[in-house]
Structure 1
Amino acid sequence: MSTDRTPTAADNGFSYTLTRTLDAPVSRVWQAWTTPDQYAQWAYAVPGSVEMDVRPGGAWKATVRTPEGAEFPLTGSYTEVTEPRHLTIGMDVPGRPDPTTMTLDLTEQGPRNTVITLRQTCATAEERDGAEQGSGMLLDGLTGFLAAGPRG
């Protein structure tokens, strides 16, 4: 398992790309990312707080708990859904009129491996660094969840 980081300055903001190879088939990774009870197990979500309507225009929400115990409610919507390979997720940012967008792409690499690529463009370098750190934590949680084997 490795994570490649590629921060770049885009014309309209500050972007990053994280790529990791996961030891699981695409269908399992997709389920982990799009099923509320599975997502809650690895994404630092408060139990019972995750709701997902995984379709273009569908809403999602979750309350994330930091290792220090602080809780942050997150909301947004799905703008693109191509099961089981691609999600474009809008994330609401307090004080900002438009959501920030994250894309997730899953690429099969043999029957048991999936390459996951997360991309996001942010307004500032500071926002990008925080979002990149959070996305890295998500990938760590997902990697651990998938290594533990199938769960309900």
Structure 2
Amino acid sequence: MSTERTTPDDGFTYTLTRTLDAPADEVWRAWTTPERYARWAHAVPGSVEMDVRPGGAWKATMLTPGGDRFPLTGSYLEVAENRLLVLGMDVPGRPAPAEMALELDEEDGRRTRIVLRQTCGTAEERDMAEQGSTMLLDGLSAFLAEGSTG
């Protein structure tokens, strides 16, 4: 599983592309089921809440490698089951949420190409978000490789 990285020169956007060894419905459930998400996304157990529908809210408290807790909140902007998930993430001090889009494309019934894209307000914000998204994709890849979708 390789990660392709694309960072355009014309803004603070990044795109990560990875092929996962799982069908799209398993990838979708891992990303949209609170218990599953908490297991691979470095979330504090019991902190994840998801109302996966356009306008629905989500929240999670992430646990950093150093043990710090980082609460996140937001809403779902677009939802197309097994294909597209666009999240709005609340950013303190910003009037509008940051948007992150996940596109899923099942390749052969067993593998799924995931494209994660986000535009940020500054280069520093982009770099931090890209690092966090890479960690998320690493955790998701490991979770799916373990067959831990049950």
Give per-residue Cα distances to partners, 1:84-115, cap 9 Å, x unaligned.
10011000001111100000000011111000
Displaced runs of 4 or more, over 6 A:
none
TM-score (norm: length of structure 2): 0.98
CA distance in 2, matches of 1:98, 1:151: 34
Give per-residue Cα distances to partners, 1:14-47, cap 9 Å, x unaligned.
1000000000000000000000000000000000
The equivalent of 1:89 in structure 2 is 87
Equivalent pairs: percent with the same residue?
A: 70
Q: CA deviation at 1:146?
A: 0.1
SS at match of 2:12: strand
CA distance in 1, matches of 2:128, 2:33: 25
Give the unaligned 5+ runs of structure 1: none
CA RMSD across the alignment: 0.8
Q: Do residues 14 (structure 1) and 15 (structure 2) align? A: no
Q: CA deviation at 1:8?
A: 1.3
After TM superposition, the structure 1 = structure 2 runs for residues 3-152 of structure 1, keeping only pairs within 5 Å, are 3-10=3-10, 13-152=11-150
SS at match of 2:115: strand
TM-score (norm: length of structure 1): 0.96
Give per-residue Cα distances to partners, 1:25-75, cap 9 Å, x unaligned.
000000000000000000000000000000000000000000100000000
